[in-house]
């Protein structure tokens, strides 16, 4: 059921989306939850295609198999932890601004699946964000928060094995937010989120709190952690990864001489080292000035990066060009730095602000630096990972919006109302039944087909594929298709709401404040 969404042509997708669209892609965590062209997220923001690592994921969720989960950042380390039965975590938050609906169920399902795979799983109520960024009262927040938690538990989240919390009631989280805030500044928030002098301080503070949420599963021990979100939340993920790195005692990079290189410069120096046989008088001991001459001959020396690399190599003169792993002192205490020097075995060079190791691999150095950091009171954060799912189309076409009741189905809707909404939904059908049989339906543009792919077909890929193939092949007409979907939706809502009633008791037993004392 998955499709390549990075092709050169406009490609239809069986999850109901299309790969081509507007030239502009803007990711706003508090704005319109739509993306016209998912392909541009790979090009502009560095999100990686999920299909490329699907085979590395043990027993992947159907949302992964069908391409609904389309992208990721650094998810390989999470998949590796799953395969090796090593610790990992998953966390997602829910801003209680309205009823939970079928679009939110995507995140619920992703969180629950990671818990079932053995992850330490966290679900949080972003009540500070709801209050500061959306202006909700604490009474409204309490009501909606309870509904989100009931649906999460009813869908399969185990509150005894996982962790549920409210931002406003978690002092550890708030302390972590304070620490992370020391590594961020207003100019950065202005650039990422468009904040201005009119933005209130509480809204800015809620951003830092969300950064703490993302890092929170690693407070007890560093481990790979995934944040399942829609792509509009990617700015939060990118900032959290940056702040997690800034909190580290040590940075680990690859180096070739005593001087520092940027990532772009390192590529050129690595090429010079790999080609040393062609220019070095002693290939086992190439000199920096020899590498500079080689680069000047084979690269465009007018390019600023190439020119800067050549200057650094020239200034190093006869120093040997020799690969090594470098530990950079970012925030380490004197004791931690000394402990790192002692812990690095084999040949090494110690400088005032870094240590070079000639025997350790990059992976070994990363592990060692984290061990020393944690032993000396640091966090040792592993960069948080993320996965991204497509947005559901509204039942009336356009985006699914909580403020437009006809566009979505609330998990609290009366089952008969859910049935009626599906029956009234827009479809990707042709103008007449004859044309539908002749040309086939447009399942890729059909909100009703999305219901099958995202929810109603469940784990049954064959059923989802059957609906798709029958539609585009002209065998399935919209009336019967909507009737079947409406019946399945009514059944789902009936079963879900029965489970919500059963979850009431579990919720009462939670060590969690459901009624805010801030009222």
Regarding whether 221 and 95 lie in a shared domain, the answer is yes
* Whole-angstrom distance, CA of residue 52 vs CA of residue 66: 13
Residue 367 tokens, joined: 């592990």
Which of 336, 361, 389 corresponds to the end of one domain? 389
* Residue-wise DSSP of 213-253: HHHGGGSSS---EEEEE-GGGHHHHHHHHHHHHHH-SEEEE
Task: Note whether 287 and 325 are same-domain residues.
Answer: yes
pLDDT tens digits, one per residue of 5-18 = 233 323 333 333 33
pLDDT score, position 41:
65
Q: How far is CA 202 from CA 27, 242, 469, in A?
A: 21, 21, 51
pLDDT of 115: 98
Same domain, 187 and 165: yes
Q: What is the pTM of this model?
A: 0.86
Contacts of 249 (CB under 8 A, 6+ apart): 329, 330, 331, 332, 333, 336, 369, 372, 373, 376, 378, 380
Amino acid 37: pLDDT: 63
Q: Are residues 448 and 307 in the same domain?
A: no
Residue 368: its pLDDT value, please? 98
pLDDT at 515: 80
Q: Do 351 and 417 belong together in one domain?
A: no
Measured distance CA(505)–CA(487) in Å, rounded: 29
Chunked into runs of 10 residues, the chain (519 residues) has average pLDDT values of 32 35 43 56 78 95 95 96 97 91 94 98 94 89 93 95 94 96 92 86 91 97 96 90 96 94 95 96 96 96 95 96 96 97 96 95 96 97 96 82 80 96 90 88 90 95 94 92 96 97 86 77
Q: What is the pLDDT of residue 198?
A: 87
Question: Which residue range forms the structural domain that includes residue 321?
Answer: 255-375
Helix (H, G, I), strand (E, B) or coil at 194: coil
**Cβ neighbourhood burial of 143 (10 Å; 0-12, 13-18, 19+):** middle
Please give the Cα distance from 321 to 479 (Å, whole number).
Answer: 71
How many separate domains does the chain show?
A: 3
Give the pLDDT score at 336.
97
pLDDT of residue 275: 97
Residue 87, classed as helix, strand or coil, is coil
pLDDT at 323: 97
- CA–CA separation, 166 vs 130, rounded Å? 11
Same domain (yes/no): 120, 239: yes
56 assigned to some structural domain: no
Convert 374-407 to b/e letters by CB count within 10 Å (16 or more is b).
eebebbbbbbbbbbbbbbbbbbbeebbbbeebeb
pLDDT at 505: 86
- With beta carbons less than 8 A apart as the criterion, state whether 443 and 1 touch: no
Instruction: Tell me which residue of 106, 124, 187, 71 sits closest to 393, measured CA to CA.
Output: 106
Please indicate, yes or no, if residue 490 is contained in any of the structural domains.
Answer: yes
Statement to judge: residues 218 and 365 lie in one domain = no
What's the pLDDT score for residue 200?
Answer: 87
DSSP state for residue 485 in the 8-state scheme: H
Q: State the Cα–Cα distance between residues 95 and 131, nearest whole angstrom.
A: 9
Contact 45, 53 (CB under 8 A): no
Q: Say if residue 109 is in the same domain as residue 241.
A: yes
CB-CB contact of 347 with 322 (8 Å) = no
Do 487 and 412 belong together in one domain? yes
* Among 389, 418, 441, residue at a domain's last position: 389
Identify whether residues 240 and 259 lie together within a single domain.
no
């Amino acid at each position: 059921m998955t499709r390549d969404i990075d092709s050169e042509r406009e490609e239809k997708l069986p999850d109901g989306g299309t790969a081509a669209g507007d030239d502009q892609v803007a990711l706003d965590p508090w704005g319109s939850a739509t993306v016209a062209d998912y392909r541009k997220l790979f090009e502009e923001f560095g999100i990686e295609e999920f299909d490329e690592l699907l085979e590395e994921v043990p027993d992947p969720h159907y949302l992964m198999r069908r391409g609904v989960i389309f992208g990721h950042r650094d998810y390989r380390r999470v998949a590796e932890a799953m395969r090796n039965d090593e610790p990992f975590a998953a966390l997602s938050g829910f801003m209680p601004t309205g009823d939970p609906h079928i679009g939110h169920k995507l995140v619920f399902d992703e969180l629950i699946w990671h818990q079932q795979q053995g992850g330490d799983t966290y679900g949080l109520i972003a009540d500070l964000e709801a209050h500061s960024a959306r202006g909700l009262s604490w009474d409204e927040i309490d009501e909606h928060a309870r509904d989100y938690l009931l649906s999460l538990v009813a869908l399969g989240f185990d509150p005894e094995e996982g962790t549920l919390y409210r931002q406003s009631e978690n002092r550890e989280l708030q302390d972590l937010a304070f620490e992370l805030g020391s590594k961020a500044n207003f100019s950065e928030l202005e650039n990422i989120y468009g904040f201005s002098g009119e933005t209130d301080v509480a809204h800015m503070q809620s951003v830092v709190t969300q950064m703490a949420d993302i890092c929170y599963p690693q407070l007890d021990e560093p481990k790979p952690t995934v944040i399942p979100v829609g792509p509009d939340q990617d700015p939060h993920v990118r900032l959290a990864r940056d702040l997690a790195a800034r909190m580290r005692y040590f940075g680990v990079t690859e180096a070739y001489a005593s001087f520092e290189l940027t990532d772009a410069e390192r590529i050129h120096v690595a090429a010079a080292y790999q080609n040393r046989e062609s220019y070095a008088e002693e290939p086992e001991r190439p000199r920096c000035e020899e590498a500079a001459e080689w680069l000047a001959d084979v690269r465009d020396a007018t390019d600023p990066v190439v020119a800067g690399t050549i200057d650094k190599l020239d200034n190093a003169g006869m120093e040997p060009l020799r690969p090594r792993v470098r530990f950079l002192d970012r925030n380490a205490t004197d004791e931690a730095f000394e402990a790192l020097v002692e812990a690095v075995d084999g040949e090494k060079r110690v400088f005032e602000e870094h240590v070079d190791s000639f025997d350790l691999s990059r992976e070994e150095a990363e592990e060692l630096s984290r061990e020393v950091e944690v032993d000396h009171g640091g966090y040792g954060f592993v960069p948080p990972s993320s996965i991204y799912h497509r947005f559901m189309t509204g039942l009336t076409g356009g985006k699914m919006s909580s403020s437009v009741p006809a566009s979505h189905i609330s998990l609290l809707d009366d089952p008969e109302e859910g049935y009626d909404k599906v029956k009234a939904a827009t479809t990707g059908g042709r103008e007449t039944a004859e044309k539908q049989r002749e040309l086939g339906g447009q399942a890729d543009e059909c909100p009703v087909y999305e219901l099958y792919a995202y929810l109603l077909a469940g784990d049954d890929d064959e059923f989802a594929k059957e609906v798709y193939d029958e539609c585009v092949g002209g065998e399935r007409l919209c009336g019967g298709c909507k009737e079947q979907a409406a019946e399945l939706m009514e059944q789902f809502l009936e079963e879900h709401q029965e489970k919500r009633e059963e979850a009431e008791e579990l919720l009462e037993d939670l060590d969690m404040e459901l009624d805010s004392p801030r009222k």
